[in-house]
């Protein structure tokens, strides 16, 4: 299908406008990315400068004393001896495996599987 001269000129003009618009949109998006990066850095700096010290002071003045009055808090203050015994890691692996097996067995038991049911004779 052959296009007349007027239609070809119009299509060329629209193509140039679309290309210019695309270029402008890329510039706008690039600028928006820079603004968002700057806002994120400013928010992070403000949080480190103002929110973090406030949260730390609140924890130290309010929450930590309240936690210290709990009955089990005295037991938590006793330093625990760290074990380097590899047997501890073997026991943790066996416990994790046992928990996974029990979870799988429970899932198999409770899942809905219509193929397992035997229909009564007619």
96 membership: H or E segment, kind and range = helix 86-110
Q: Is this prediction's pTM over 0.75?
A: no
What DSSP assignment string belongs to 34-68? HHHHHHHHHHHHHIIIIIHHHHHHHIIIIIHHHHH
Q: Residue 73 corresponds to which tokens in the numbers above?
A: 């808090």
pLDDT in tens, the chain (122 residues): 688 999 999 999 999 999 999 999 999 999 999 999 999 999 999 999 998 999 899 888 988 888 777 776 666 566 667 767 888 889 999 999 999 999 999 988 887 666 666 666 65
């Amino acid at each position: 299908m052959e296009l007349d001269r007027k239609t070809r000129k119009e299509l060329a003009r629209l193509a140039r406008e679309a290309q210019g618009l695309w270029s402008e949109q890329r510039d706008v998006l690039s600028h928006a990315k820079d603004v968002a990066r700057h806002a994120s850095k400013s928010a992070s700096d403000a949080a480190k400068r103002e929110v973090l010290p406030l949260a730390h002071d609140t924890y130290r003045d309010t929450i930590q004393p309240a936690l210290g009055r709990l009955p089990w808090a005295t037991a938590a203050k006793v330093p625990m001896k760290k074990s380097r015994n590899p047997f501890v890691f073997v026991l943790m692996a066996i416990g994790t495996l046992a928990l996974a097996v029990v979870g799988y067995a429970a899932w198999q038991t409770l899942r809905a599987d219509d193929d397992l049911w035997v229909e009564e004779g007619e």
